[in-house]
């Protein structure tokens, strides 16, 4: 299902469109209605809709301004404009941002359906075209850079025993450390130049699309593979060695899982003076410089510290961290380490976004270009954090307002949306459920019943009708008694009688 957001400042229009069309039959899920451009912008940032049906003239941001702002951070969301303005300048501005569908009010239900079907068809064509090769490439890039980070972390300092297991645990959600039996194949007595030739030939025989993990360490080359792939690796490795005309010894060791293999492998290569990681996407010498590593960790700590905040991570700080790196390759790895950590810790970052950033870094020809990518990454993360903090603030404001106004019989989510937060009711309802795990109506009733229990047990307790009024049931004490009994199993009088004596 593709997610749809409707943005129009005319309530009748946005609600009519939302109910007029059977969205599910089009493969579309309607996720919300926005009453103006600002509301739409916030909802797009939070909900990441695939399609936005938007008006042109709205308070906050116009439709064109909304599209322009979103295009700077997200090129995947598709916009359909529904407007009463047919001027060519509006249409030309929309086309400049890639908008292909511009509907004039009044339009028919079928015209909206035709536009939506065209957008869905575009998504399907793109998905079918990109899914196979791009998805595999994305997963392979993420896998190798994650494994490289994990190996480097394990090689720093005297890392063994519980400390090593803690490092592996950081990567457990990204790498399958425990499910599959693994084998370590190592070729002894081989020059680094020959190791590269063997790796390239082995990749050719084995297939570049596979997660073949290869490490060179002081005249030994190691292949870390799942046990099910062992025959294929052996045949490709034997043929590669024969072609390279190398005289070397091939040994193997079996392990129950990747975690067990890593314990043995790290101990095996820890003292090596030269370690190089090989994959189809990255050939990277592993520098065990703890100063560089501590710099990366410092930036990560700032990046994910809620108390420090993303705004504290400035370009100058990044530039200083990169200043001590002597070569472009190491600078790239520093940057990719940050991106991988961001991807692993912040669930709103898509695998597509992480991979695009990594590809930008890999194609950078200077440290300045890398800095540009980093600034783009941190601006994006800053928006995500600001959005998250804003949403938490919304949930907090709702709870605080309820606790201070329990006696107000008008209290409802719609009333708070219209008179306190000035935001769309559907939007804050979804945010409240997502943040708290419960519906607003359930939360409100629970708070009212909790307050009523306290009032009923006070020494100088009021009459039942007065208690009802003090928790928002002023006009209907009988309904208060029904709700109270439903939640507690006792009528208000019976509750006071039973627990007031304790």
Greater pLDDT, 112 or 278: 112
Phi, psi of 405 (to 5 degrees): -135, 35
Q: Is there a domain that residue 135 lies in? A: no
Q: In terms of residue numbers, what domain contains 468?
A: 405-499
Residues 379 and 310 in one domain: yes
In a domain, 474, yes or no: yes
- Let me know if residue 322 belongs to a domain: yes
Same-domain pairing of 241 and 260: yes
Taking residues 293-305, report their average pLDDT. 51
Question: How far is CA 211 from its chain centroid?
Answer: 24
Per-residue confidence band for 6, with pLDDT thresholds at 50, 70 and 90: very high
Query: Locate tokens 């219209």: which residue?
Result: 418
Whether residues 74 and 10 fall in one domain: yes
The CATH code of the domain that includes 101 is: 3.40.50.2300
pLDDT recorded at residue 348: 46
Domain shared by 416 and 447, yes or no = yes
* Torsion sign across C-alpha atoms 448, 454, 457, 462: negative
In a domain, 396, yes or no: no
Q: What would the DSSP string read from start to end of 188-232?
A: ES--HHHHHHHHHHHHHHH-TTS--EEEEESSEEEEEEEGGGHHH
Kindly list the distances between the CA atom of residue 248 and the CA atoms of 134, 187, 189, 191, 267, in Å, as whole numbers in the listed order: 37, 6, 6, 10, 22
- The more confidently predicted of residues 288 and 457 is 457
Pair (199, 311) in one structural domain: no
Cα–Cα distance, 275 to 91 (Å, whole number): 57
Q: Residue 23: which residues within 8 A CB-CB, separation 6 or more?
A: 4, 29, 30
Q: Are residues 239 and 311 in the same domain?
A: no
Distance of CA 350 to the CA centre of its chain: 5
Are 168 and 68 found together in one domain? no
Q: Convert the pLDDT of each residue in 50-108 to its tens digit.
A: 899 999 888 888 888 898 888 877 778 899 988 776 655 666 777 777 787 888 877 88
120 domain-assigned: no
Decide which of 236, 264, 285 is a domain's last residue: 285
Q: Which residue do the tokens 């912040």 mark? A: 346
User: For residue 378, is the peptide bond before it cis, meaning its omega torsion is within 30 degrees of 0?
Assistant: no
CA distance 451 to 441: 15
Higher pLDDT, 370 or 470: 470
Last residue of a domain, which of 84, 107, 130?
A: 107
Please give the C-alpha separations between residue 443 and each of 407, 468, 483, in angstroms, as whole numbers: 15, 17, 14
The set of residues, in sequence order, having a beta carbon less than 8 Å from that of 453 and lying 6+ positions away, is: 488, 495
Q: Which of 217-221, 238-242, 390-394, 475-479 has the lowest mean pLDDT?
A: 390-394
Please report whether residue 234 resides in a domain. yes
Bigger pLDDT: 311 vs 299: 299
Q: Say whether pLDDT at 296 is over 60.
A: no
Q: What is the CATH number of the domain that holds 260?
A: 3.30.70.260
Mean pLDDT over 7-12 rounds to 90
For residue 4, the SS3 value is strand
pLDDT tens digits for range 314-325: 445 555 666 556
Number of domains in the chain: 4
State which of 285, 310, 328 marks the end of a domain. 285
Same domain, 370 and 458: no
**For the range 69-75, what are the long-range contacts, defined as Cβ-Cβ under 8 Å and sequence gap of 24 or more?**
69/41, 70/41, 70/44, 71/97, 71/98, 73/380, 73/383, 74/44, 74/48
Residue 121 forms part of a structural domain: no
Give 192's pLDDT tier (boundaries 50, 70, 90).
confident
Residue 142: inside a domain, yes or no? no
Instruction: Clarify whether residues 244 and 298 are in a common domain.
Output: no
Asked if residue 165 and residue 273 are part of one domain, the reply reads: yes
Q: Are residues 424 and 365 in the same domain?
A: no
Distance (Å) of CA 268 to CA 96, 178, 218, 264: 58, 20, 11, 6
- The predicted model scores a pTM of 0.46
Q: Which burial class, exposed, middle or buried, applies to 438 when counting CB atoms under 10 A from its CB (0-12, 13-18, 19+)?
A: exposed
Same domain, 225 and 310: no
3-state class of 181 per DSSP?
coil
Q: Is the pLDDT of residue 281 over 70?
A: no
């Amino acid at each position: 299902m593709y997610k749809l957001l409707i943005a129009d400042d005319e309530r009748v229009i946005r609600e009519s469109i939302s109910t007029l069309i059977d969205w599910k039959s089009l493969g579309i899920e309607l996720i919300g209605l926005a009453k103006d451009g600002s509301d739409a912008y916030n909802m797009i940032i939070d909900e990441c809709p695939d399609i936005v049906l938007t008006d042109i003239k709205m308070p906050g941001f116009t439709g064109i301004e909304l599209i322009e702002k979103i295009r700077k951070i997200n090129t995947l969301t598709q916009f359909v404009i529904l407007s009463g303005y047919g001027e060519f300048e509006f249409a030309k501005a929309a086309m400049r941002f890639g908008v292909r569908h511009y509907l004039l009010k009044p339009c028919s239900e079928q015209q909206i359906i035709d536009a939506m079907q065209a957008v869905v068809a575009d998504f399907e064509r793109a998905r079918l075209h990109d899914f196979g090769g791009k998805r595999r490439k994305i997963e392979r890039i993420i896998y190798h850079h994650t494994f490289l980070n994990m190996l480097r972390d394990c090689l720093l300092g005297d890392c063994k025993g519980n400390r090593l297991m803690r490092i592996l645990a950081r990567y457990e959600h990204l790498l399958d450390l425990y499910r599959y039996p693994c084998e370590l194949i190592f070729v002894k007595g081989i020059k680094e130049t020959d190791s590269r030739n063997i790796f390239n030939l082995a990749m050719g025989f084995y297939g570049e699309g596979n997660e073949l993990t290869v490490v060179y360490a002081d005249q030994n080359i190691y292949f870390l593979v799942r046990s099910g792939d062992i025959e294929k690796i052996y045949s490709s490795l034997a043929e590669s060695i024969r072609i390279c005309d190398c005289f070397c010894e091939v040994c193997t060791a079996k392990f129950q899982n990747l975690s067990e293999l890593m314990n043995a492998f790290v101990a095996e290569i820890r003292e090596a003076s030269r370690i190089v990681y090989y994959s189809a996407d990255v050939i990277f010498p592993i520098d065990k410089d703890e100063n560089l590593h501590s710099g990366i960790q410092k930036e990560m700590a700032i990046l994910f510290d809620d108390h420090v905040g993303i705004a504290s991570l400035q370009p100058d700080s990044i530039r200083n961290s990169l200043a001590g790196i002597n070569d472009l390759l190491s600078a790239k790895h520093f940057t990719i380490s940050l991106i991988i950590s961001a991807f692993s810790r912040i669930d709103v970052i898509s695998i597509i976004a992480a991979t695009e950033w990594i590809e930008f870094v890999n194609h950078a020809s200077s440290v300045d270009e890398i800095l540009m990518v980093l600034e783009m990454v941190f601006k994006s993360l800053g928006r995500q954090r600001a959005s998250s903090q804003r949403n938490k603030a919304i949930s907090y404001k709702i709870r605080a307002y309820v606790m201070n106004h329990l006696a107000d019989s008008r209290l409802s989510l719609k009333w708070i949306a219209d008179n306190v937060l000035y935001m769309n009711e559907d939007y804050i309802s979804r945010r409240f459920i997502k943040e708290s795990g419960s519906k607003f109506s359930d939360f409100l009733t629970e708070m009212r019943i909790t307050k009523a229990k306290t009032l009923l047990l006070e020494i100088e307790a009021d009459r039942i009708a007065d208690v009802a009024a003090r928790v928002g049931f002023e006009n209907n004490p009988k309904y208060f008694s029904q709700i109270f009994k439903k939640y507690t199993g006792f009528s208000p009088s019976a509750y006071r009688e039973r627990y007031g004596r304790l």
